[in-house]
Amino acid sequence: MVNYYQVLKISPKATNAEIKSAYRRLARKIHPDVSSENAENASGEFAKIAKAYQILGNPKERAAYDRRLLDAKYKNSSNSDSVFSSENAHARRWRQMAYERRYNEIIDRMIADERRETMALQKVIFPTVALFISVCFVAIFKPMFWTNSHIIGKIILFLLFVLGLVHLFKRLRTGFERYTYRYENIHDSILEESKAETKPYTRVTAVCFLVVGIGVSLGVGLLVGNFLQSFLTPSMPRFFAASLKPEFIFYPPIAVLFVDLMHSFAIRFDQ
């Protein structure tokens, strides 16, 4: 059985980042376009490390592969002539404990990888949903915090807006990098075929989703706001406007910032 950890020259306990780094390093070194070896040997070596990365780079496939590797190692150990392969009760129990410990490590790592993936997804979903909801609420109520604030209040609102905008940009950029297609040049010449990273969405799809989501949220908010306008504006004219004003662009990024901060605190208390 091929040991893909040896192919990539990494430890079986390597993290996803270490696996990706090792793959890129070896791919650039062995790639047929840059390798000093003949094209056939280089293509064969490159295909081997590409297969290793395909298996080890996917947490579920890696866990399944680790179990197969562990089973093969356990069987070979049982059939060997070493003192550790003795068939007495103590040796069998020792091997079983080692097998179970390694198996538990595989499961723990898989759970940890899934937890990290869930956390990363939440860091994209929560700001996006908060953006849509805040746009809708701003369109409904049309608050005038900026207009009614003194100079100190306006400075605070502006600083919060800038912080919220930067925070939102970082979250969206992380989501784009993690969940939208990017192509690696190191795949380009293997068997005259380009290989795309296995990510669920294209960048165009993600941009369209954001634009349509904001548009729908704004439209729904305006419809509901027009229905409630006869109740809100006359009763509290200082706090709610009758129509959209330029200051409304300040509020969604601020709302996203506060929602995301509360989510982060909730996660820390939950751990």
Give DSSP secondary structure letters for 212-258. HHHHHHHHHHHHHHHHHHHHHHHH-TTTB-SS--GGGGGHHHHHHHH
- Cα(73)–Cα(88) distance, integer angstroms: 19
Structure tokens at 256: 């996203």
- The mean predicted confidence, pLDDT, of the chain is 79
Residues with Cβ within 8 Å of residue 157, at least 6 apart in sequence: 145, 146, 149, 250, 254
- Cα(249)–Cα(192) distance, integer angstroms: 49
Tell me: pLDDT of 182 over 60. no
The pLDDT assigned to 78 comes to: 54
Region 241-268: mean pLDDT is: 87
Residues with Cβ within 8 Å of residue 193, at least 6 apart in sequence: 187
- Cα(201)–Cα(36) distance, integer angstroms: 37
Region 176-188: mean pLDDT is: 63
| Domains along the chain with CATH numbers | 1-87 (1.10.287.110), 118-271 (no CATH)
3-state secondary structure of 2: coil
Instruction: Give pLDDT tens digits for 81-140.
Output: 544 455 667 666 776 676 677 777 777 777 777 787 788 888 899 999 999 999 999 999
- Cα(31)–Cα(50) distance, integer angstroms: 10
Instruction: Give pLDDT tens digits for 10-41.
Output: 988 888 778 888 888 888 787 655 555 555 67
Q: Which residue in this structure is represented by tokens 């040896």?
A: 6
Structure tokens at 9: 């020259």
3-state secondary structure of 199: coil
- Cα(187)–Cα(176) distance, integer angstroms: 21
Region 180-201: mean pLDDT is: 51
DSSP annotation of 84 reads: G
Judge if pTM exceeds 0.75.
Answer: no
Residue type, 49: I
CB atoms within 10 A of CB 49: 22
